[in-house]
Structure 1
Amino acid sequence: MNYLLGIDLGTSSVKTCLIDQAGTVWASRSEPYRINSPAKNMAEQNPEEWWLAAKKTIRYCLQKLEGSRGEITGIGFSGQMHGLVALDKDHQVIRPAIIWCDQRSQEQISSIYNIVHKDELGRQTLNTLSPGFLLPSLMWIKVNEPFHYEKIDKVVLPKDYIRYRLTGVIGTDSTDACATLVFDTEKKKWAEELSKRLGIDTAIFPECHEPYEVAGYVTQSAADETGLTPGVPVVYGGGDQPMQAIGNGILSPGTISCTIGTGGQLFTPVNEPVYDRLFRTNTFCHVNNWYILGANLSAGLSLKWLMENILFEENMAELNAEAGKIPVGSDRLVYLPYLNGDRTPHLDPDAKGMFFGLQLKHNRYHMVRAVMEGVAFSLRDSLEIFNHLNVPVERVIASGGFIQSDLWMQIVADVFQKRISTTLTKEHACMGAAIMAAVGTNAFKSIEEAVKVMVKPSDREIEPNENNGKIYKERYELFKSLYIKNKELFRN
C-alpha cells in the first residue's frame, strides 16, 4: 500500500499524519513548542525547534509502517501563515522567526503607507497591512536590526523552512506567498514594483509555485535524520487555511469553514478576487482560485489562557460538562477575545480582552462558557461581513480543535443560526497537505478527484436552536458595543 505524509506546522505544535490514498489516517503525532516573547508585543519561534519537533513526528509515523509492505510516495505541507524566516547565503537561520501574532511593527506599517498609499497597496495585494505579516516584519528588521537585514539572502514562510530541511530546495507557494503582503494576489506573483519602492531587493523572495507541484526530493542527510527514504517527492504545500479547507473538501463558493484553533477563522472560496475596500477581511490565493478570510487572533488561545493562568485546570471534559449547565448567555457575562489585538473586523492591535458584567453569582464555568460565546461572537463579525459582500453561505463545516467540544459547536451553530457539519477527518490541514502530495505525484488526475476519494463527510451535524439564537442576537449587540465604547481606553 502507498502512503502519504501530511505535515502541518502549526503555531503551538507540528503534527504529522500517515495517510493512505483512500484518505484513511493510519498514524498521527504532534509535538509541541512554545511562542517566545522577548519583549512587549513580540512573538517569535526558533525554526530549529520546528525541525526537531517535525523529525520526532515523522519518525513516529514511520514506526507505524514497520512490518508492512507500504511505502511513502509523497510528502505535503501545511503551515502557519505570515511568519518570516530570514536565511543567509548559506541558508542558515539569521534570527528567530517573527510569527503571525507578533504586534511589534505598527510603526513600520505607517512608514510603508507614507511611501505607498493604503489604497494603492490594497488594490495590488487586496489586503491591508497588519502587524505579524511578513512585509512589515521585514521592514522592522531593516530599521531595528540592520546587521541582520544585511545578511538576508532569502526570506521564507515557516513551513517552507521545514521543506527546505527535507529537500535542500528554497521555495514557496502562492497560497502562502500572498499572505506576505508583498505579492500581487490577483496575478499570483511577487509585487516587484512594490518591493523596489520600499527599497527591498526582490531577489530575497524565493521562487513561487503551486501547492501541488513537486518542490524537490528527500535528501540523504534528511533521510538520515528522519528515517525517510532518500528520493521521496515533496510538494510545496500551502498555508494552513487553504490546506484545512482542502482537507474539508472546500473548493468552490457556497461552503465556509469555521476553524477554532489557536486563532479563529472563517474561510470561503471565491471564483474572482474580492477587494474589500473597508479592509475588514483578507483576500488570499486558494488552490486554483481565491478565498476570503476573517480572523480572530485569540480564539482557542483565549480558552487555553483561561485554563492555564486563571483556572489552573487541565480537564477540558469536566469544564465542557459544567459549562454546558450554565444558561445560554452565561448569565449576562460577556467576554471580548482580544488578548492579542484584533484582526477582523477592527484591525486593531491595541484591542484588549475583557470580561464584562462579572457578579458574585458567576463562577469558573460561567467564565468558560463566556469565552466560548465571545469567540463565537467574534467569528459572527466575519459572517456579517461575508453577507455584506454578497458572498454565498450555504453550508458551514467546522474545523480545528473546537470540534471536540459539542458545547462549543452548539454555541457557534446558535450564534450563527446555521447548521454546522463536519468531516470524518480530524486533522484537516494534514489531510489537505496529503492531498496536495497525492495530486503532485499523479496518484489522482485532479484536486477534485482526490478530494472526492480522500475526504469523507460525517453524519454529525449540529442544528441551531432558534430560541438560543434570539438570546445570542441580543448579547451579540452588547458584544459589539463593548469594543466601540472601550476603543479609546484600549490605547492606554
Structure 2
Amino acid sequence: MKYVIGVDLGTSAVKLLLVNQKGEVAHEVSKSYPLIQEKTGYSEQDPEQWVTQTTAGIKELIDTFDGDANDIEGMSFSGQMHGLVLLDGQNQVLRNAILWNDTRTTKQCEEIYEKVGKDRFISITKNMALEGFTLPKILWVKENEPELFEKAATFVLPKDYLRYRITDQLQMEYSDAAGTSLLDISAREWSKEICDSLDLDPSICPPLVNSHDNVGTITSDFADQTGLSEATNVFAGGADNACGAIGSGILSEGKTFCSIGTSGVVLSYEPTGDKDFEGKVHYFNHSAPGAYYTMGVTLSAGHSLNWFKDTFAADEDFDSLLKEVDTVPVGSNGLLFTPYLVGERTPHADATIRASFIGMDSSHRRKDFARAVLEGITFSLNESIDLFRKSGKTIDTIYSIGGGAKNKEWLQMQADIFNANIVKLTSEQGPGMGAAMLAAFGSGWFETLEACADAFLSEAEMYQPIQENVERYEKLFTTYKKVYEQTTEINQDLMEFRN
C-alpha cells in the first residue's frame, strides 16, 4: 500500500494526516504552537515554531507507522492564508509572521485605495483591500519598521515558508497568492501596476507555481530528523479554504460548501476568473487546475457559539447546551441574534459593528437564545449564498463541514435557511485531506482531482429543506438584514466606551 501525507498548517496547530490509496486516514498527529499578541489587534507567530512542530509531528507519524517509510510517496500542504513572512537575501526570517487575523493595517488599506484607486484595485485583485490580507501588512512594515524592511528581499505565506524549510525551494502557489492583494487574479501573475503604485519592487514577489506542481524532494536533513525517505516528493499545496474545497469535493460548477469553524465560510466553485462581484465576496484562484472559487466569510461563526457556551454554560458540553433547540420553533420565539462579535466580513467589511440580541422579553429561556445563536450564524452565512444567487449561480446542494455538521438540528436549519439540500460527508478531514489529495494527484494515483474525490470521499446524510420552514425563514431573513443597517451608527458611538 502506498501513502501520502497532508500537512495542514493552521493558526493554532499543525495537523498531519497519513492517507492511503483508498483515501483512508491511517494515522493523524496534531502539534500546537502559540500566538503572540503583544497589543490589541496584533496577531503574530514565530515561523520557527511551525518548522519545529511539523518536524516533531512527522517524526511521531513515522515512529508510529507500522509500514515502510519508502511507501510514503509524497506530501503536500494546506495553510492559513494571508500571513506575512518577510525574508532577507539569504532567506532568513526578518521578524515574526503577521497573521491573517491581525487588524493593525486600516491606514494601509486606505493608502492602497488612494494610490491604486478602489475600483481599479478591485478589478485587478477581485477583492477589497482588507486588514487581514498580506499587502497592507507589507506596507505597515515598510512604514513602521523601515530599517528592517530595507533588508527584505522577498515574502512568502506560512505554508510556503514551511515548505521551503523542507525542500530548500522557495515559491508561492496561486491559491495563496490570490489572498495577498498583489496577484492579478484573471491573468495569474503578480501585478506590476499595484507594485509600482505603492513603490514596491516587484522582485519582492516570489516565483509562482501550481498547487499540484512537484517542487522537489525533502532535504537530507529533514529526512534524518523525521525518518522519511529522501525520495519523498513534495507538492506545492494550497490555501486552507482551497484545500478544504478539494477535501469536500468542490471541484465542478454548482458545487458549494459551508464550513463552520471559528469563522464561517461559504465557498462555491467557479470555472473562470472573469466574473465581477465588485469585491462583495472573495474571489480567489482554486487549487484545482485552472479553476477559481468565490467565498463569503462570517468572522464569528463557531466563535459566537463558543462565546455563548463559555458565558452562559461554561460547565456544560455542547450537546447539553443544544439538546432542547428542537423544541423551539423557527424564529426562536421572536428572538434574533446577529453574530458580529468581532466585526463582520461578508457582505459588510466592518470592523466596528458588534453583535446584538433583538426582541428579548421575559418569556425567553436559554434554549431560545441558543437557537437564536444558531439561526443568526446561519443567516450571516446565507448573506453570502444570497449574493451568489443574485449573480446568477444555481446553488441547490451544499456540503456542510466543521462544527455546523455535528448537530442534526443545525444541519436541518441550514437546509431550511439556505433553501438547499445539505450533505454531510462520511469522513470529514477538511483542508488536511485536500492537501493529501493534491499529493495523491501529483503522485499520479489519479488522472484528475475529480477522480481522486470520487475514490476518497463519500456522502453520509442529506437534509432537505422543509417548505414551511423555508417560507418563515425567508421572512425572518429580511428582518435580519435590517439589523446591520439600524445598529451601525449605534455601535460606532459605543466604540469609545469599549476597553
Tell whether the 8 Å contact from 1:253 to 1:392 is kept in structure 2 after alignment: no
Determine what percentage of the aligned residue pairs are the same residue: 35
Answer yes or no: is the 8 Å Cα contact 1:12–1:34 preserved in 2. yes
Name 1:409's counterpart in structure 2.
Answer: 411
Q: Does the C-alpha gap of structure 1 residues 54 and 370 become closer, same or farther in structure 2, counting only changes over 3 Å?
A: farther
- Asked if 1:281 is matched to 2:281, the reply is yes
Query: What is the one-letter code of the residue matched to 2:314?
Result: F
What TM-score do the two structures reach when normalised by structure 1?
0.94
Task: Name the CA distance, whole Å, in 1 between partners of 2:82 and 2:238.
Answer: 12
* SS of residue paired to 2:179: helix
Residue 379 of structure 2 contacts residue 477 of structure 2 at CA under 8 Å; is this kept in 1?
Answer: yes
Shift in Å at residue 274 of structure 1? 4.3
1:334 and 2:336 equivalent? yes
Partner of 1:464: 465
Distance across 1 between alignment mates of 2:149 and 2:362:
54
The alpha-carbon distance between structure 1 residues 153 and 363, as it changes in their structure 2 partners (threshold 3 A), is: farther
- Residue of structure 1 in register with 2:376 after alignment: 374
Following superposition, the deviation at residue 464 of structure 1 comes to: 1.9
1:275 is displaced (CA, Å) by: 3.9
Corresponding residue for 2:431?
A: 429
The answer as to 2:300 corresponding to 1:294 is no
Deviates more, 1:317-326 or 1:133-142: 317-326
In structure 2, the residue matched to 1:224 is 224
CA separation of 1:157 and 1:65: change in aligned 2, threshold 3 A: same
Cα gap change, 1:443 to 1:311, in 2 (>3 Å): same
Partner residue, 1:484: 485
Instruction: Quote the residue 1:399 is aligned against.
Output: 401
Cα distance, 1:31–1:306 mapped onto 2, change above 3 Å? farther
After the TM superposition, which of the residue ranges 127-136 and 323-332 deviates more from structure 2?
323-332
User: 2: CA distance between counterparts of 1:91 and 1:122?
Assistant: 31
The change in CA–CA distance for 1:488 and 1:148 in structure 2 (over 3 A counts) is farther
Which aligned pairs between 1:137-156 and structure 2 lie closer than 5 A?
137-156=137-156
Judged with a 3 Å threshold, the aligned counterparts in structure 2 of structure 1 residues 42 and 355 are, in CA distance, closer, same or farther, namely farther
Residues 111-260 of structure 1: matches in 2 within 5 Å? 111-260=111-260
Q: Which runs of 5+ in 1 are unaligned?
A: none
Is 2:122–2:278's contact at 8 Å kept on the other side of the alignment? no
Moved more, 40-49 or 479-488: 40-49
Alignment-mate amino acid for residue 22 of structure 2: A
One-letter amino acid of the structure 2 residue matched with residue 466 of structure 1: Q
Shift of 1:91: 2.6
Q: Which amino acid aligns with 1:298?
A: S
Change (3 A) 1:442 1:334: same
Structure 2 equivalent of residue 98 of structure 1: 98
Q: Partner amino acid for 2:310?
A: E
The aligned counterpart of 2:26 is 26
* Change over 3 Å in CA distance of 1:96–1:338 after alignment to 2: farther
5 Å matches for 1:55-70?
55-67=55-67
Whichever residue aligns with residue 478 of structure 2, its letter is E
Query: What is the alpha-carbon distance in structure 2 between the residues aligned to residue 22 and residue 241 of structure 1?
Result: 23
1:317 paired to 2:319? yes
Deviations 1:240-262 (A, max 9, x none): 11211111222111111111112
Question: Displacement, 1:128?
Answer: 1.4
Check conservation: 2:277, 2:391, Cα contact below 8 A.
no
Q: In 2, Cα distance between the equivalents of 1:314 and 1:63? A: 37
3-state SS in 2 of match to 1:119: helix
- Cα offset, 1:360, TM superposition: 3.6
Single out whichever of 215-224 and 303-312 deviates more from structure 2: 303-312
Quote the residue 1:2 is aligned against.
2
CA–CA distance in structure 1, aligned partners of residues 263 and 296 of structure 2: 11
The runs of 5 or more residues in structure 2 that have no matched partner are none
Contact 1:126 1:274 in 2 (8 A): no
Q: Distance in 2 between matches of 1:305 and 1:233?
A: 42
**C-alpha separation between the residues in 2 aligned to 1:92 and 1:294?**
35
* Residue identity in the other structure for 1:422: K
- Residue identity opposite 1:261 in structure 2: G
Which residue of 1 is the match for residue 85 of structure 2? Answer: 85
- Contact kept? 2:127, 2:278, Cα under 8 Å: no
Once the two structures are overlaid, the 10-residue window that deviates more, 270-279 or 209-218, is: 270-279
Q: 1:98 to 1:371 in 2, by over 3 A?
A: farther
Post-superposition offset of 1:34: 4.7
1:439 aligns to what? 441
State how far apart, in whole Å, the 1-side matches of 2:328 and 2:47 are. 42
**What is the deviation of 1:69?**
7.8
The Cα of 1:77 is off from its aligned counterpart by 0.8
Please state whether the residue corresponding to 2:255 is helix, strand or coil: strand
Do the aligned partners of residues 355 and 85 (structure 1) sit closer, same or farther apart at CA in structure 2, a change above 3 Å counting? farther
Whole-Å separation in 1 of the counterparts to 2:134 and 2:7: 22
* Superposition deviation, residue 26 in structure 1: 1.3
Deviations 1:256-283 (A, max 9, x none): 1111112111111122224435321111
Q: TM-score by structure 2 length? A: 0.93
Task: Say whether the 8 Å CA contact 1:74–1:232 is kept in structure 2.
Answer: yes
- In structure 2, what is the Cα distance between the partners aligned to 1:113 and 1:147? 25
State the number of aligned residues.
Answer: 491
Query: 2: distance between equivalents of 1:64 and 1:370?
Result: 45
- C-alpha offsets along residues 281-332 of structure 1, whole Å, 9 cap, x if unaligned? 1111112211111111121122223333553246222223244443332332
Counterpart of 2:422 (choices 388, 411, 420) is: 420
What secondary structure sits across from 1:51 in the alignment?
helix
Residue in structure 1 matched with residue 346 of structure 2 by the alignment:
344
Mapped partners of 2:113, 2:339: distance in 1: 28
> In structure 1, how many angstroms separate the alpha carbons of the residues matched to 2:277 and 2:419?
27
- TM-fit CA distance, 1:436: 0.9
Q: Confirm or deny: 8 A CA contact 1:311 1:364 kept in the other structure.
A: no
Name the stretch that deviates more: 118-127 or 92-101. Answer: 92-101
**Displacement after TM superposition at 1:209 (Å):** 0.5
Any idea what SS the aligned residue of 2:320 has?
helix
Q: Deviations over 1:402-459 (max 9, x none)?
A: 21222222221121121101222310211211111112222222223322322x2213
Amino acid paired to 2:210 = E
Cα deviation for residue 191 of structure 1 reads 0.9
CA spacing shift, 1:3–1:475, aligned 2, 3 Å: same
Q: Which residue of 2 aligns with 1:108?
A: 108
Q: Hey, what's the Cα distance between the residues in 1 that align with 2:234 and 2:88?
A: 23
Cα distance between partner residues in 1 of 2:165 and 2:44:
20
CA distance in 1, matches of 2:248, 2:201: 38
Taking a change above 3 Å as real, the CA distance of residues 219 and 419 of structure 1, as seen in their structure-2 partners, is same
1:12–1:262 CA contact under 8 A, matched in 2: no
Q: Is the 8 A contact 1:127 1:275 kept in 2?
A: no
